[in-house]
Amino acid sequence: MTRFPDRKIILEDGQEYYGYAFGAMEEKILEIVFNTSMAGYQEILSDPSYTDQAVVMTYPLIGNYGMAEDDYETQTPTIGALIVHEYNDQPSNFRSKETLGQVMKRYGISGISGVDTRKLARSIRDFGSRKALLTGIDTSLGEGLKRLEEYRQPKDAVSRVSCRQIRRLGREGDGLHVAAIDCGMKRGIVRSLLRRGCRVTILPWDTPAETIRDLSPDGLFISNGPGDPTDVPETIQTVRSMIGTCPIFGICLGHQIIALAYGAQTYKLKFGHRGGNHPVRDLETGKIEITSQNHSYAVDESSLKKTPLTVTHRNLLDGTVEGLCCSGDRVFSVQYHPESCPGPQDSAYLFDRFIEMMKES
C-alpha cells in the first residue's frame, strides 16, 4: 500500500522537506542542526544540550537497536525533534526495552522519517543553522514562513534542564568531593567522576558562590548544557567568584562559561560541531584525539589576549579553540565531551587530570 507524506519541515529561507511522522505529532518551531554520529542516537536523544533543537541524523538508519534503560543521559529528554532518513520500529537488541518511537511519543518529541537527510545536512552546512517549523502536510509555505518570522528563540533553556534541588551522590566521607554545577549535565559525566571514587554534589545552575564555598569542595565542575552561554550571567558570576578557591574543570558550555568568567567572549558557529569524529590536537603533547562534540558556540580566540587563559587544544577541522587553562588558578576546560556518551574514549584522561589537580591542592 502506498504511503503518502504526512509531515513536513519548513525552513526560514523557504526550503521544504517532506516525510512521515513517528514519535509525537506536535507542531514545533526549533533550531535545525545535524549530527554525524554513526551510533548513539539514544544518548543524543537524551542529551539536554539539544533542548529546543531539531537534530538531523546523517547516518541513514535510526532506531534499529531500540532503547536501553541504562543508556539515557537524562531522565526526561528535552530534545525538540529527530529527523531521519529511515526509521526502524522493530529493533533487534537484547538490551532494548522500548522502541525509539515509543519513547519519543511519551516525552513529546516529534519525529520525521523519509527525509533526504544528505540534502538537508548539506543545506545546514552551506547556509548555517536556521529556524525550522515541523508541521502537518497541509500547512502552506506562506503561513509557515510567517510563524517562523514571528518566533523568538527562548533564552531560558539552562534553567529548564538544570536540577531544582541540591543532590548528593557517593558515600559521605569517601574520596574527593566535587561540586558540580548542573547546566544540563549528562549522566555520563557524573558516572565518570563516581568511577574515580569522587563524591559529587550536584547544584542548580544559579547556585551562588557562597553556597558552594560553604560545601568546602575539593574541586568545582561546570557541566555542558544548551543555548547561548551569555544567557546564564548568574553562573558566569559564580564561576568568577570561585576562581582561585579550588580546582575548576569545565566541559562544553562549562568551557564557554569559564572563558566568559575571565572576560573573554564567545560567538555562534555557522552550524556548530555535532558528532563523534572531530579531531582535536593537544597543543602540549602534540597528540591528536578523536572527540565527541555537541555545541553551537565557541570561544573567540582574539578575546583571550586580555586574560590569563592559554589555549591547550585546537580543532583540526576549523581551527577553533577546544581547550583552555590557567595553571596559576588551577582552572582548565575543554569544548568537547571526554565522557564519550556516545563517542570515542580518547579524552577520558581529562577526568584523571582533574583528580590529580584536586589531590595536589
| 177, three cell numbers | 568531593
Pick the catalytic residue: 255, 273, 337, 341?
A: 337
How far apart CA 12 and CA 153 sit, in angstroms, is 13
b/e map 175-209, b = 16+ CB within 10 Å: bbbbbbbbbbbbbbbbebbeeeebbbbbbbbbbeb
DSSP state of 85: S
85: Cβ contacts below 8 Å, ≥ 6 apart: 57, 60, 61, 62, 113, 114, 115, 116, 117, 118
Pick the catalytic residue: 252, 325, 326, 341?
A: 252
Query: Residue 120, exposed/middle/buried by CB under 10 A (0-12, 13-18, 19+)?
Result: buried
How far apart CA 110 and CA 9 sit, in angstroms, is 11
Give the Å distances, CA to CA, from 335 to 19, 158, 278, 342.
34, 17, 11, 15
Give the Å distances, CA to CA, from 73 to 69, 76, 83, 151, 168.
10, 9, 20, 29, 18
Give the Å distances, CA to CA, from 1 to 4, 20, 317.
10, 15, 45
Concerning whether 163 is annotated as a catalytic residue, the answer is: no
Concerning whether 252 is annotated as a catalytic residue, the answer is: yes
Distance, CA of 68 to chain centre = 20
Residue 4: Cβ within 10 Å count: 7
Query: Angle CA(64)–CA(68)–CA(74) in degrees, nearest 5?
Result: 115
Characterize the bridge pairing of strands 321-326 and 110-113: unpaired
DSSP helix/strand/coil, 8:
strand
Concerning whether 289 is annotated as a catalytic residue, the answer is: no
Give me the residues paired with residue 275 across strands. Answer: 293
Pick the catalytic residue: 73, 325, 339, 341?
A: 339
Q: Which residues are catalytic?
A: 252, 337, 339
